[in-house]
Amino acid sequence: MPTLADIQLARQQIGDVVVRTPLVPALALRDRVPGTLFLKLENLQRTGSFKDRGALNRLLALTPEERARGVVTASAGNHAQAVAYHGARLGIPVQVVMPEHTPLIKIANTRRFGADVHFHGATLDEAITEARRIEREESRILVHAFDDERVIAGQGTIGLELLEQLPDLTTVIVPIGGGGLISGIAIAIKEQRPSVRIFGVEAAAAPSALASRRAGHIVKLESADTLADGIAVKRVGERTFPIIERYVDDIVSVEEDEIAAAVHLLLENEKVLAEGAGAVPLAALIARKLPITANDVTAMVLSGGNIDINMVERIIARGLVSDGRLAMLAVTVPDRPGSLARLTALVAAAGANVLQLSHGRAFADISVRDVEIVMQLETRGPDHVRQIIAELERHGFGVRVEMRTL
């Protein structure tokens, strides 16, 4: 198990290269969360996540002979980018094994940083198995994403920074995948300030640490498919699990819709782009799954911001629908000239903006004398949507809320 001294040494080793990330108050979220909340912005590291810390600390420990042999790692993206970037800086050949469905942005960035990338399996666990084969057959050094003492120590430097940046700190909320991040932070903080509570948050679709804690031993999950791909791990680490059991006060899980809502909330309110894994602490706070009170001073670790832009677009659209600012209505009107103009005039008079529309005749369950017009509207909220529907129905149109996309 890494010690506080190991973490302090790691900071000396990596301090000139990694970013001492800012801890900023979440002012725009004050009315949504209890107490005072701060965001530790690890998305501002060079490769977009906290992984720079642990990866660099591990690479710096290699001997000249090991550097020449090169390293191999398995990662869903963030760790791969960190190993690739720092490996290139240090002149170390890097081979990366990624699961087949890794987000494109993480694949592209890893290759851009100079790593040799190939794909194996549907999950991180299958990719790790392949990386271990390469380690044996090619005599490379395996740089594990989380189950390595030097990696854990590197991640723990976040805990040192938190205590220095926020002397009144009472609570820290950390994402959990394999457990390297929360293990390092927990050691750094609990060994100096035992009263600070450490909470871990997992995706409900990949709750390996929570399942293991409940069972009293490490449990391997059958699947780990989640929007929070950075923490989509089937099995918590052999080294990290005892640390979690010793230092972490509680672990909770959040659902996929809660994660998506947290990503949207951070982007719109705090102007911060977080990947799913980075947003799970806020998801747990918003859902009131943690015992945070008005007197608490809380720091949540926003672990990374490497999210596919197409996914961001879908998350934003879903968030707007949830907030009632984007609505899709299927309106039945007479199939005659002027009907569409009359409909759009009523919508405009109600203060909504038409973004898209389509006509349905053959496949709509309506009279042959009618046509169904599906409209995507920009609206002001749920009350506004209800007002629009009432106004259209008052003028004789049949209206239903349409859940599919155009």
Of the candidates 40, 51, 106, 190, the residue annotated as catalytic is 51
Q: Closest Cα to residue 176, out of 242, 260, 128, 232?
A: 232
Q: Does the annotation count 51 as an active-site position?
A: yes
Q: Does the annotation count 190 as an active-site position?
A: no
Of the candidates 75, 183, 212, 303, the residue annotated as catalytic is 303
Positions annotated as catalytic residues are: 51, 303
